[in-house]
Amino acid sequence: MAKNKFNKNWLHDHINDPYVKMAQKEGYRARAAYKLKEIDESEKLIRPGQIIVDLGCAPGSWSQYVRNKLAGQEGGRINGTIIGLDMLPMDPIADVHFIQGDFREQDVLEKLESVVGGRKVDLVLSDMAPNLSGVAVTDAARVEHIIDLAIEFAQAHMKPSGALLVKCFNGTGYTQLVEKFRQEFKTVVSKKPKASRDKSSEVFLLGKVLKNPS
């Protein structure tokens, strides 16, 4: 009974969510686009000519937002390169190079390299989150593992002056994640965009300029 009530409450909140309505109106695949939009507008992350990688990109709303930003105008050609990586399939997005597979695997990295052609990435985005169990210590370890992967990817593929934006959760293990970012980046800021639901512990960590580029 409680589960049915929860599902009904979630559905009611979802249907009446202004960001869900806005996403439907503006053609975004998920309300998550507005989280990136708010962070981008405050931090000036996305600029013409950049190479941007979207880790765990499906269903694609972050890649859609990046594409719209780099296009400058509706229907215009983009000034930059967007690469989306995910183990899940994703419906195509104009001007986005989508590579399906695990970005730790050699064949996926070779496909990535064929797109970037030896150039380094300006911005790495990660809206990835693990399946959460509800057990705080277990979930903290899973979140940390995914963020470690994003940091390792950035160290291997990003310009020293680049930026990494990841999703994490303000709870068990969060302080350690912030400290980990401070060890790797010269500037670290935490962002809680308005589009993140009030009940959610979701926050985004942004690291700028690698301290120890590879």
Residues annotated as catalytic are 167
- Output the CA–CA distances (angstroms, integers) from residue 61 to 31, 51, 135, 152, in the order listed: 8, 17, 29, 24
How far apart are the C-alpha atoms of 84 and 32, rounded to whole Å?
Answer: 15
Residues 165, 69, 54, 81, CA torsion sign: negative
Residue 60 is labelled as binding a ligand: yes
Residue 54 is labelled as binding a ligand: no
Residue 10 is labelled as binding a ligand: no
196 is written with which tokens?
């993140």
Residue with tokens 């590879």: 214
Residue 102 is labelled as binding a ligand: yes
Residues 2, 20, 53, 125, CA torsion sign: negative
Residue 91 is labelled as binding a ligand: no
Instruction: List the binding residues.
Output: 60, 62, 86, 102, 127
Instruction: List the binding residues for S-adenosyl-L-methionine.
Output: 60, 62, 86, 102, 127
